[in-house]
Structure 1
Amino acid sequence: MTGRRSFPAFAPERFAPTPERPLRAKSRVLEHLADIQPHRHDWAQLVFSMTGAVRVSTEASTYIVPPARAVWIPPDIVHAVTAIEQCDLRTLYLGPELLAGPAWQVGRVLEVSPLLRELVLALPVIPDPAPPESREDAERRRGIEELVLMELRRARPMALGVALPQDARLRKLCEAMLREPGRHAGLEDWAAEAGASPRTLSRLFREQLGTSFAQWRSQLLLAHALTLAARGRPMSHIAAELGYSSASAFTAMVTRTVGMPPSRFFERA
C-alpha cells in the first residue's frame, strides 16, 4: 500500500483573495494517503474533490466527504486535508466579506450541486502573479463568481461532521477509529487497545463530546459508509468493511441513527 506523504500548504498566499479577485480557485491531485499539513489563513475556504474521498480535520471536528460534498472552513481555522483515496482536489478561497452571517462562521459540510461543480471547473486556477486579463475574460470570470456565490448560499448543509475531543487519551483513540473504523466493534476492545478502562472512556466521551461511544461511532461509520456508497460498493461489502457481521445489522444501525434505511439515506445524502 502506498505510504503516507505529507505536504506543506502549497503557498496558499499565491491564491489569496484581493479586492479585485475576492474569489480564487485552486486545483491539485492528491495521491492515496497524501495529506496537506495543518495550516490557517485569513480567508474562508471551500474544499472538495471531483473524484475520490477526502478527510478535512480541524482542532474540533473532522469531516469525511465523498465527491458532491464539500467542507466549508471559516477564516482563521487551523485545518488539514487527507486523501482517503486518490482525489482530484478543488479549493475555493473566499474573502470574508463575500459570505457573511453566523452560518458561515462555523465549519460544516455542504452539498455540491451539479451546477456548482461545473462553475468551479470553469474558474481560472492561476496563482499570483497572474497574467493580465482581457476585459472579456474578466467579465466572464466575475459572472461565474456571482453564480458560484448564489449556489453556495442555496447549498444544503449536511450533518457529516464528527466531533473530536481535547483529552489526549480520547483523541488518540478517536484518531485510531477514524483510520480503521471497522477494526473493533465494541468499546471494550478499543479500551484494551488504548490501555484504559471502558468506564473511563465512556465517561470521557460524555464529558468531552457530549455523546456516548456508540452514538459517536455510528456517526463515524455513517461518514465512511457514504464514501463507500459513492464508489458504488454494494451494501454487503460496506457492512463487512465497517465490521458488521451482516448487511441487516448495518441496516439496523443506519435506520436507528438517521431514521431511515441505508438505501434511502444514501440516496438523499
Structure 2
Amino acid sequence: MVRRSSVPAFSPERFAPTPERPLRAKSRMLEHQTDIQPHRHDWGQLVFSMTGAVRVSTEASTYIVPPSRAVWIPPGVVHAVTAIERCDLRTLYAGPGLLTGAAWQAGRVLEVSPLLRELVLALPAVPDPPPAEDSADTERRRGIEGLVLVELRRARPLALGVALPQDARLRRLCEAMLREPGRHAGLDEWAAEAGASPRTLSRLFREQLGTSFAQWRSQLLLAHALTLAARGRPMSHIATELGYASASAFTAMVTRTVGMPPSRFFAEA
C-alpha cells in the first residue's frame, strides 16, 4: 500500500488578492502522494504544476493533469490537491471581477501556454506583506498581470474532468478507482471489492453520473494516460500500468473513446 501524507492548505489568506494586487502567485513543493487538505476561499484559483502530475478534487469532479495543463477553481468551491508524483506546485489567485462570465463559474481544465507559464513564474510568489516596489517594479508587475489575464481568457479548455457521485457507496468505489485505476478491469471485480452487485453499481452510475461504468472508467484512464504520456512513457508501459493486456487493446479503447489513436490524442491534448 502506498504511504500517504496530508498537509494543511498553507495559509491561503496570506496570499489573498487585493485591489492593489489583484493577482497573487504562490509556489510549493509537494512530495509523491501528498494531499493538501480540503479548503475554500473567496477568490478564484488556477492550480498547476511545473513538474509532476497533480489531482485536484471538488465535491462534484476530479481533475488529473500533467504540467502542461491547469485546473480553474471558482471562488467558494471546496477543493483538495493530491501530488500524483513529486511536483513543483504553482497557484494563481485571482481577485473578484477579474474573470467573469458563465465559463468561469465552473471548474475546468485549461491549456497552459508557454507564455502563461513564464508569466506566472514572473509574478512575486511571496505572502503578505509583499516586498516594497518602486514605480518601475509596479509598472512591470501590472503589465505581467494584464498579460496573465489575456492568456487565461485565450486558454483552450480541455475535457479532462471526471464527475464524482453523491452516493457514499459509489463515491468510495470511484475514489478507489482514482487511486489505482489499473487494479481491476471489469465492473464485476470492482463490485466484489465494494460489496455490491454489478447491477446495483451499474444503476448508480446511470443515476448519479449519467453514464455507464465503462464510459466513466474510460475517461478516468484517459486522464491517467495523459499524465504518463507527458512523462515520455512508451505506449506499452502506459497500457500495462492501466491494466491492459496489450498496447493494441489500450489503443482500441482510446480510439473508441475519443475518435483518434493515442499518438494523435496525446499530441493534441
TM-score (norm 1): 0.99
Q: Secondary structure at the match of 1:202?
A: helix
- Distance, in Å, in 2 between the alignment partners of 1:186 and 1:95 is 45
Q: Secondary structure at the match of 1:125?
A: coil
**Corresponding residue for residue 94 of structure 2:** 94
Contact in 2 for aligned 1:72/1:109 (Cα 8 Å): yes
* Cα distance change, pair 253–2 in 1 and its aligned pair in 2 (3 A): closer
Contact in 2 for aligned 1:2/1:32 (Cα 8 Å): no
Counterpart mapping for 1:229-248 below 5 A: 229-248=229-248
Cα distance per residue 1:196-225 (max 9 Å; x no partner): 000000000000000000000000000000
**Corresponding residue for residue 145 of structure 1:** 145
Q: Secondary structure at the match of 1:14?
A: helix
| Runs of at least 5 residues in structure 2 that lack an aligned partner in the other structure | none
**Overall identity of the aligned pairs, in %:** 87
* Cα distance change, pair 173–2 in 1 and its aligned pair in 2 (3 A): closer
Q: Structure 1 residue runs of 4+, over 6 Å off?
A: none
- Amino acid in structure 2 at the alignment position of 1:34: T
- Amino acid in structure 2 at the alignment position of 1:249: A
C-alpha deviation, 1:131, in angstroms: 2.6
**Corresponding residue for residue 58 of structure 1:** 58
- Distance, in Å, in 1 between the alignment partners of 2:10 and 2:2 is 21
C-alpha deviation, 1:77, in angstroms: 0.1
Q: Secondary structure at the match of 1:176?
A: helix
C-alpha deviation, 1:17, in angstroms: 0.3
- Amino acid in structure 2 at the alignment position of 1:227: T
**Corresponding residue for residue 30 of structure 1:** 30
**Please, what is the CA RMSD of the aligned residues?**
0.8
C-alpha deviation, 1:2, in angstroms: 6.7
C-alpha deviation, 1:19, in angstroms: 0.5
Q: Secondary structure at the match of 2:24?
A: strand
Contact in 2 for aligned 1:116/1:148 (Cα 8 Å): yes
- Amino acid in structure 1 at the alignment position of 2:30: L
C-alpha deviation, 1:88, in angstroms: 0.4
- Distance, in Å, in 2 between the alignment partners of 1:212 and 1:90 is 35
- Distance, in Å, in 1 between the alignment partners of 2:161 and 2:131 is 39
**Corresponding residue for residue 193 of structure 1:** 193
Q: Secondary structure at the match of 2:62?
A: strand
Contact in 2 for aligned 1:42/1:76 (Cα 8 Å): yes
- Distance, in Å, in 2 between the alignment partners of 1:96 and 1:241 is 42
**Corresponding residue for residue 80 of structure 2:** 80
| Runs of at least 5 residues in structure 1 that lack an aligned partner in the other structure | none
**Corresponding residue for residue 159 of structure 2:** 159
Matched residue pairs, number?
A: 269
The question of 1:129 aligning with 2:141 is answered: no
Contact in 2 for aligned 1:52/1:86 (Cα 8 Å): yes
Contact in 2 for aligned 1:60/1:163 (Cα 8 Å): yes
- Amino acid in structure 1 at the alignment position of 2:187: L
- Distance, in Å, in 1 between the alignment partners of 2:237 and 2:4 is 25
C-alpha deviation, 1:3, in angstroms: 2.5
- Distance, in Å, in 2 between the alignment partners of 1:131 and 1:70 is 27
- Amino acid in structure 1 at the alignment position of 2:135: R
**Corresponding residue for residue 4 of structure 1:** 4
Cα distance per residue 1:99-151 (max 9 Å; x no partner): 10000000000000011111111110110012321111111000001000000
- Distance, in Å, in 2 between the alignment partners of 1:74 and 1:80 is 13
**Corresponding residue for residue 169 of structure 2:** 169
- Distance, in Å, in 1 between the alignment partners of 2:118 and 2:19 is 24
- Distance, in Å, in 2 between the alignment partners of 1:131 and 1:205 is 51
C-alpha deviation, 1:264, in angstroms: 0.1
- Distance, in Å, in 2 between the alignment partners of 1:131 and 1:245 is 56
| Farther-moved stretch of structure 1 (242-251 vs 3-12) | 3-12
**Corresponding residue for residue 257 of structure 2:** 257
**Corresponding residue for residue 49 of structure 1:** 49
Q: Secondary structure at the match of 2:115?
A: helix
